[in-house]
Amino acid sequence: MDGGFTIGLWALTLVALAAIVAPWLAPHPPNAQPDLVGGRLRAPGTTLHAVQLRDGRTWLADAVARTPEGLRILRGGTWTTRGVDEITNLTDDGVADRWRYWLGSDRFSRDLLSRLLHGARTSLLIAVLSIALALSLGLAVGAVAALAGGAVDALLMRIVDGLLTLPWLMVLITLSALVRPSTGTLIALLGASGWMGLSRIVRGEMRGLLQRDFVRAAVAMGAGRLYLLRRHLLPHVWTPVVISVTLALGSVILAEAALSFLGLGVPPTTPSWGGMIADGRLDMLRAWWVTTVPGAALVITVIAVNLVGDGLRDRLDPRRA
């Protein structure tokens, strides 16, 4: 299990670092569509001649041939000729620039590597902020239920039980269809749907701690509820909470990808792994890489998160043999 934890931690660290440095690591802007004719559905590793036209357009060509009149360009299976005065990056043997698709391109000629890196920023940011919101709500409800006890505890737990019975994926799809898709809306929906299990964990752990001798001694000495919460309860519930949050992170990443795949997540102009998979669903037979690249990134990230969560559970569990 230690080996799995190490592998998962390294993989998750690499994904996080790639997301952080995406603006500097990505070879092209994520939404750049240089040439819908010459650059669409290009296989991984393709290198094209980038012909810069004087009107500001970029043509991506499989081959170019210099002529006395200008340049012959093989683009979209057809040869065309452009004059010397129409090209700004002309050289003696062709053009000076190249456009490389390291992981291929989609039907809009967008670079998949660039979109993958920027999509990691989107997916991880949404997942982390959603988990932070769910953690805040879960801690608050669980702590109030444990400290208040009695009718307040019973009421809050019955509300939690009722919410846990809801099919949350269907609820998220319905709510996402009713509100305008945005990153903030998606974070709020995912966070608001993920706090119930955390609240039960926090409530159960704190109720057990309230029966411990050191907590009873603090109460006997006149400690208030806020002091108990800050000094004695919260420090002792972090272990199960951290484990639960880590394991839930993978589920949130998958939920965000599912909603984005259905067009109910982030706006289409914002790259995300789920949106990239959706973009390639119509071209799976002739351009497998459009869905495979973000799908592989999603699978690797979720597996890494689960490996880290399992490793933390084994390392932090005091009952571990």
Question: Mind listing the pLDDT tens digit for each residue in 258-302?
Answer: 888 887 778 878 898 988 998 888 888 889 999 999 999 999 999
Report the pLDDT value the prediction gives residue 240, as an integer from 0 to 100.
84
Dig out the tokens for 66 from the structure. 């210099």
Q: What is the pLDDT of residue 235?
A: 81
Looking at residue 132, what is its pLDDT?
Answer: 92
Distances (CA, A) of 157 to 130, 211, 229: 22, 19, 19
CA 26 to chain centre: 17
Helices (H), the chain: 2-20, 22-25, 112-148, 150-164, 168-178, 183-192, 196-209, 213-220, 225-228, 234-261, 273-279, 289-316
264 — phi, psi (to 5°)?
-110, 10
- Low-confidence stretches of the chain (pLDDT beneath 50): 1, 321
The 46-52 sheet, strands edge to edge: 58-61, 46-52, 97-101
- With vertex at residue 176, the alpha carbon angle to CA 143 and CA 126, rounded to the nearest 5 degrees, is 60
